[in-house]
Amino acid sequence: MAKRKNTLTRFFEDIVDDTKDFVDDLLDRAKDIETDVRDSVTDAIDDDEAGSPAEVASLKASLAALQAKVDELTALQAKAVKA
With 0.85 as the threshold, say if the pTM is over it.
no
The CA distance from 18 to 12, in Å, is 10
> What pLDDT, on a 0 to 100 scale, did the predictor assign at position 45?
80
Mean pLDDT of 5-31: 93
What pLDDT does residue 50 have?
A: 66
SS3 51: coil
Kindly tell me if the per-residue pLDDT of 18 is higher than 60.
yes
Please, are residues 4 and 10 in contact by the beta-carbon 8 Å criterion?
A: yes
User: Is the separation of the CB atoms in 9 and 15 below 8 Å?
Assistant: no
Q: Give the H or E element holding residue 63.
A: helix 53-82
Per residue in 33-75, pLDDT tens? 999 999 998 887 876 666 688 888 999 999 999 999 999 999 9
